[in-house]
Amino acid sequence: MSSIYIHWPFCISKCNYCNFNSVPCAGNKMDFREWLNLYRRTLLAFGNRYYRGDLVTSVYFGGGTPSLLPSSFVNNLLDEIQKLFNLSENAEITLEANPDAINPSKAKEFKKSGINRLSIGVQSIIDSDLMMLGRTHGSHSAKECVFEMAQIFNNISIDLIYNRPGQKVEDWEEELIEVLSFPIDHISLYELIIEDRTPMKTMIDNGILPAPDNSSEFFERTLEITQNAGFTMYEVSNFVRTTLGEGAKILDNFYVSRHEIHKNYLKFSPPPSKVSQHNLSYWQYLDYFGIGPGAHSRVTLQNGKKLAIMQTKNNFEIEYLSREDKFKERLLMGLRSNICGVNLFDIDDDIKLRFNIKNKLEKLLKNEYIVMYGDRVVLTYTGILRLNLIIRYLADSGVI
């Protein structure tokens, strides 16, 4: 299985925290026909060189702000994907949208074009914080957008950012509780990362804004509040509303309390229908094809070798991943998800020996940072709180 990511780099304006490959550009200045032909040629070239005929289970239009695109652009590009790739009839096809770049009429056009999942970049429902983040919408339009889109799509996710400069934990609690009452079944909650060469970094360095809190309290309270509201974390930043009709809860008694370690951590079952199938392919370390300016891909060749491919202006830059590279990427992606984890069966024996994995896992088990399901390693609650430390520990060949 594999997935396709379509990167549309243009947006209305650049947010203060953003260091993504995106460019502010007014839609009326775009030559969409020229861009569509470029994407078509890239899909054809990529498919001819690297595609092996496996089933494509998801397509994701990310950005930038893809909801600025005409629906005809999306429709034509999806038609091209169907011609060139083995696209599943039940493929999840997601489009990212900003509240001020979509309306009910346009949303219905996107749905007719083939979009069946919408990801809305709300980021906050506090007007002053939206201004600080550099967002171009207000809290009222964000809420209105979510409720309007819920009347059109039955699979909606929204993004929120927490631990913003000056934000207090109790304010985040109140905001998150309100948002979880919206008509959504999926939410992505990202802790703000202050990136270099962004306006927000400059404002913090100059003392205009306070630096975000570096404690774990925001994350711990986020886990508690989502669980109490019926949302289950299946990846560090992603939560899905769990219903009895979807195989009961993914997690059973996941959060015993803030200070206790649960004993019955995970029951493997088919993921609920509202879990992001596209992101799941990343965490499972499946192949994915990135199309668009600066997009990158991970592709497995017939001989089993893994390629990292970066799209440039006129060509593809190719890097063969070493066994060590693949091992570290598996750790980085798999341990984030308590559905996926890391399957030791997929890791070369000499890599396990070189990185002393057996002894390291025994220590992590003793400290109750991980649980094992056969060859699968999954983090516990206390392990998730130490995610980055555990990844570095396992990926360091000089540490026993």
Q: What's the maximum distance between 2 C-alpha atoms anywhere in the chain?
A: 60
Residue entry with tokens 């649980």: 371
Looking at residue 272, what is its pLDDT? 64
Task: Output the CA angle 259-262-263, nearest 5 degrees.
Answer: 145
Instruction: Dump pLDDT digits (tens) for 163-176.
Output: 999 999 999 999 99
Looking at residue 147, what is its pLDDT? 97
Looking at residue 310, what is its pLDDT? 83
Q: How confident is the model at residue 93 (pLDDT cuts 50, 70, 90)?
A: very high
Q: Encode 354-396 in three state secondary structure.
A: HCCHHHHHHHHHHCCCEEEECCEEEECHHHHCCHHHHHHHHHC
**Residue 162 scores a pLDDT above 60:** yes
Instruction: Dump pLDDT digits (tens) for 315-362.
Output: 788 889 999 999 999 999 999 998 889 999 999 999 999 999 999 999
Looking at residue 24, what is its pLDDT? 80
CATH of domain 2-281: 3.20.20.70
- Name the pTM for this structure: 0.91
Instruction: Dump pLDDT digits (tens) for 23-52.
Output: 787 556 778 999 999 999 999 998 888 888
Cα distance between residue 212 and residue 207, in whole Å: 12
**Residue 254 scores a pLDDT above 50:** no
Looking at residue 288, what is its pLDDT? 93
**Residue 21 scores a pLDDT above 90:** no
How does DSSP assign 275-340, residue by residue?
S-HHHHHHHTT-EEEEESTT-EEEEE-TTS-EEEEEE-SSSEEEEEPPHHHHHHHHHHHHTTBTTT
Crossing angle (nearest 10°) for helices 387-395 and 357-366:
150
Q: How confident is the model at residue 245 (pLDDT cuts 50, 70, 90)?
A: very low
* CB 241 within 8 Å of CB 184: yes
Q: Domain spans of the chain?
A: 2-281, 340-400
Instruction: Dump pLDDT digits (tens) for 105-117.
Output: 999 999 999 999 9
Q: Tell me which residue of 181, 190, 80, 69 sits closest to 124, measured CA to CA.
A: 190
Q: How confident is the model at residue 263 (pLDDT cuts 50, 70, 90)?
A: very low
Q: Which token pair is 331?
A: 């750790």
